[in-house]
Structures are given as C-alpha cells and as structure tokens.
Amino acid sequence: PVAGPRGRSGRSSGRAAPITATAPPPVSVKGRASVKHITTSGATVSVQVSCKGNTSCKIKLTGTVLETLRGGKVIAVAASTKTKTKSKKKKTTKKTITIISKTATIPAGKTRTIKLTLNAAGKKLLAKHHPLKAKLTITQASKTLARKTITLKTNTKKKKKR
C-alpha cells in the first residue's frame, strides 16, 4: 500500500507542509511625461520635458503650419490647424505641413531638454515667410500633453564692432 497524507496508520503525522511567503510583485507606475518649458531661439525650439513613474516616457513632438495655396503657389502661412472649406471664387486650398518632427524617450524620473530643428520644408517656408508661426504639439501615446503656438525667426548674424 502507498502511504498517503495520513501515513500508513491512517492518522495525521502532525507535521504541516512548510508555507513559503512570496512578496507581491512591485507596483509598476507607467511613465507620465509633463512639459516644463518651451523656448524658441531663431529657428531652433527647445522643449524641457520631465518623466514621472517607474518606466521611461516616449513622446512625439510635431510642429505644423497651415499653408494656403492658390494655383499651386503658397499665398499664406498660418499656425492654425483648422482647414476651412474651399472657396469657389478664388479656388484656394489649405494644406497642413509638418515642419518639425521628433520622437524622444525620457528616462524614468529624469528631466531632459529636447532641441528641435526645422526640416527642409520648414526651412524653405521660413526663408519666404518670416517670422513663421507654427503650432507645436507634444503627445505621449496619442494623448496630447501640450499644444502651443511658437514663432520661428531667421537667424540674423550680428556684425562685430571693431
């Protein structure tokens, strides 16, 4: 006969199986980014972002302008992202152009300053339409953290006095 939990005599041996305590898994707080400060200097944008939580924060920074076109030529540039209806008389169309785009990962519990520079389309628009107003949108996992209108200027080099 095979001895069961009660032993051969059918009685309990009096010894209980040892109980091992396991620690609960650590509570993981997802990283939440927050925008501290946005500054512009010429055609460069600096954004100070901090990340709170146990995991790093992945954010996307996008700068856009609204271009108004007539006959294929740009006639106006605005920071607004609202496209209005097409005018039948003037035949103007509006297009949203991305001039700045960057993805950054901020380590958990840290604050980082992210420098953004214009892409080719942004540099071309700034050269023709300066100062250029753009809408800067900062998102984390499809949630908008901040939206601000920024003004970009051409870098004018100052002459040194002799």
Q: Alpha-carbon Rg of the chain, whole angstroms? A: 30
Full-model pTM: 0.74
**pLDDT tens sequence across 7-64:** 555 555 667 777 776 766 666 678 899 999 999 998 999 999 999 999 999 999 999 9
Instruction: Read off the tokens for 91.
Output: 């035949």
**pLDDT tens sequence across 131-154:** 999 999 999 999 999 999 999 998
Neighbours of 36 (CB within 10 A): 12
Q: Which residue has the tokens 């509006």?
A: 94
Instruction: Tell how far CA 18 is from the center of its chain.
Output: 51
d(CA 122, CA 65): 9
- Report yes or no: 107 and 51 within 8 Å, Cβ to Cβ: yes
